Amino acid sequence: MTVLSAGLVPSASAADVQSQQWYLSAMKADEMWKVSTGKGVKVAVIDTGVNPNTPSLKGQVLAGEVPRAVGYKATEDYDGHGTSMAELIAGTGAGDGLKGLAPGAKIVPYRLAMKDMKDGSEKEKAPQLPDVIRAIADSDVKIISMSFGEDVERSDVLAAVKYAESKGKLMVSATGNDAQEKNFIGYPAAYPYVVGVAASDKSGRVGKFSEHGNYVDLASPGLEVPTWCDNTFRSYCTSQGTSQATAIASASAALVWSAHPDWTANQVLASLIDTAGRDWAKDDPSTYLGYGLIRPRMVLEQSNFNPGPAATDPLARENATGVTDEAGTSTSASASASAPPQSPKATAGGRTSAAASTSDTSDNTTMWIALGVAAAVLAIGGGAFVVIRSRRAA
């Protein structure tokens, strides 16, 4: 997946960053916050670390709940990516910082060794993904947000994912940003029980970079989203990626789970799938947008919403079929099950100045197009989102 981009446009002041969070108004966040802010829900952010001292995250990060065995430098973000994801989820907006979609939720931070990490010794000390997932599974965290990935399926990670599912955790992951180059299958998004999230723009079109396949389950805002420019935390930049989409999807789940604390992970996900914006049959999901554009407000506005049976897996069909390539051929885990451990890559995509009014960019920040066939305009929150789709491989 896309390495965190370099050569950013000059920094912007943080004062206007909330005005850049277009998806908050599009999703009618103010109305949702009257029902739920995510209070009582803990979200584990597995990333580059989370800085708990930004104005927007003060009091929001539960660093003391990270087990020592997997907590190496969890509150030291070497890139700014993990802190950005945490703010998109649960930022309070204090100090003119990012306002999270679920500002009442709390963040439990984890620092994972990423391929972008330049310090080899630091990479060796960072915990491995299977150990982190298992540690979270044994905690009272409800949601595991993973804005990173790799193109190799690993048996130890798969086993950890299955363990976390057995413990009732909802796992959300970025599908990846390399669709323009090779569109490889991205893990952990493609593992069973993990919700794969694609990135959409203001019109609901899937980003050109957003990877597609039958492991895409939902789409979420991921273009022109402000994040920290770097680990100096002095300014925000406009960015794009399935990372951002994953954080916003995780926050959406937190809103729903907070409003319905007695629901299971299956029921929270089922409610988001049932209410997703789409104009196609639910049993015929898209390879680009999955079951559709995430719309938590549609769940929250119905106090008696029926999420279905607690034990029914809403991704049962995909989990039974397994991942297929574009030709519809099932992939095999056997070839990579014994692959040596490697570090995944964060999926931030390109970033530009949050204050920029033009398309001056670095990397692929403004490169997106509608993929598939344009269909009817659906309402997601208060904004109109054009739904773009393509049928999944059988």
Given the residues 36, 81, 220, 274, the one annotated as active site: 81
Q: What would the two tokens of residue 229 be? A: 């420019």
Between CA 388 and CA 377 the distance in angstroms is 10
Active site residue 334: no
Question: Across the beta sheet with 225-228, what order do the strands follow?
Answer: 225-228, 236-239, 351-353
**Measured CA distances, 139 to 89, 169, 246 (Å):** 19, 10, 21
Active site residue 260: no
Given the residues 145, 243, 258, 271, the one annotated as active site: 243
Active site residue 243: yes
DSSP 305-369: -----TT--TTHHHHHH--B-TTSPBP-STTTTTPPP---EE----EEETT--S---STTTT---
Between CA 374 and CA 125 the distance in angstroms is 47
Between CA 32 and CA 356 the distance in angstroms is 29
User: For residue 5, how many other CB atoms are within 10 A of its CB?
Assistant: 20
Given the residues 36, 47, 147, 353, the one annotated as active site: 47
Between CA 17 and CA 226 the distance in angstroms is 7
Between CA 374 and CA 368 the distance in angstroms is 15
Q: Three-state SS for 206?
A: strand
Amino acid letter, 188: P
Residue 379: which of 28, 8, 18 has the closest Cα?
A: 28
Residues serving a catalytic function are 47, 81, 243
